[in-house]
Structure 1
Amino acid sequence: MSTPEGPDGWVDDAVRALLLLMPRMVGRAKRIPVPEALRSFSLAPRHLSLLSYLLFDGPMTVNQLASRLQVAPTTVSLLVGDLSRKGILERREDEADRRRRIIGIAADHQSAISAWLAPGAAAWREALAPLTPDQRRMFVDTLLAYEAAVGGREQD
């Protein structure tokens, strides 16, 4: 076991703990069952992120979704087209600019998508609730830094 005296003492202990924890977290998240009403749609993790934004933040444009997902608008357009053909998403005209389309979750699927995302959201709320706002921000920033570091190494 590392000691705090070493330059990487407790950091190494934390890294070890996280390397053991992350696969368990991912495994548990993957075991959250897709509601029966959505099983036939072959939804993937890329769909989950898009649906999460629409569920929590409400309808938005393709460009807004692309910005939040940090992908190209053409990528979002393909996802939206796929989910629209399946009836999961709806496109409607933007009243302020009729050239733009607003994307939202179809009313028929709103409750199933909400039920699918609810266990994960509830778990995060329970885990984050005891933390101060600054601690929550640090936690999220740390996960974002980890994602960026892993992403940068994947490109090597």
Structure 2
Amino acid sequence: MTTPQQLEADLGWALLAVLRTYRQLSEARLTDLPGGPRGYHVLATAALGDPPSQLAMARKLGVDRTVMTYLLDDLEAAGLIERRPDPADRRARRITVTPAGNERLCAVQRSLREAEEALLAPLAPEDRRVLRDLLHRLAVGLQAGPGPGVCVEMHQLTDPGPAAEPC
């Protein structure tokens, strides 16, 4: 039987609790943006100018290419993005953010920062900074892909002793 202390020490439980609250706070701020949270990710990624094509963006964001087409249609209809032929490959489309899209993105990001502050309110300011830094480093590391030694026994994450059995 799982005790409350074991549950609270479980990373998955903690991540899910934080994610659930973050989703509630952030989705409420994205309801009027075409595509909601997915539309935000597309708009933010397009603002960075990377990846270079519609198909590459779909792959990077893990969005089905058909769904990506509908998201882009909605964002374009709202005047937030434009699709332009890629000069290097006229079959490919580059996604660019319009001035109105940049303004909207800034407003949404300000609103999301307010949601983040509400979420992180139980933490001291320094703890908030550390948590953001650690999450960012973890996310960047995960985006880089798995490296050598990816297979790690769960108990090795909390117990530095030798593993009972190899992976």
TM bin (shorter chain)? 0.5 to 0.7
Q: Which residue matches 1:54?
A: 46
Q: Which residue matches 1:30?
A: 27
- Superposed counterparts of 1:13-92, under 5 Å: 13-15=8-10, 17-18=14-15, 20-32=17-29, 39=32, 42-58=34-50, 60-92=52-84
* Structure 2 gaps, min length 5: 118-127, 143-167
The SS at the match of 1:111 is helix
User: Aligned partners of 1:33, 1:132: CA distance in 2, in Å?
Assistant: 22
User: Aligned partners of 1:128, 1:117: CA distance in 2, in Å?
Assistant: 16
Question: Higher Cα Rg: structure 1 or 2?
Answer: 2
Question: What do residues 47-73 of structure 1 show as CA deviations (whole Å, max 9, x unaligned)?
Answer: 122112112344731111110121222
User: Percent identity over the alignment?
Assistant: 24
User: Aligned partners of 1:30, 1:91: CA distance in 2, in Å?
Assistant: 26
The SS at the match of 1:60 is coil
**Displacement after TM superposition at 1:19 (Å):** 5.4
**Displacement after TM superposition at 1:115 (Å):** 2.4
Distance 1:140 1:115, change over 3 A: farther
Instruction: Give the count of matched residue pairs.
Output: 127
User: Aligned partners of 1:26, 1:47: CA distance in 2, in Å?
Assistant: 14
Matched AA of 1:82: D
Distance 1:19 1:80, change over 3 A: closer
**Displacement after TM superposition at 1:43 (Å):** 4.5
User: Aligned partners of 1:95, 1:106: CA distance in 2, in Å?
Assistant: 19
**Displacement after TM superposition at 1:138 (Å):** 7.3
Q: 1 or 2, which has the higher helix percentage?
A: 1
Distance 1:128 1:57, change over 3 A: farther
The SS at the match of 1:87 is coil
CA contact (8 A) 2:83 2:96 kept: yes
User: Aligned partners of 2:107, 2:61: CA distance in 1, in Å?
Assistant: 22
TM-score by length of 2: 0.56
User: Aligned partners of 1:98, 1:139: CA distance in 2, in Å?
Assistant: 32
TM-score by length of 1: 0.59
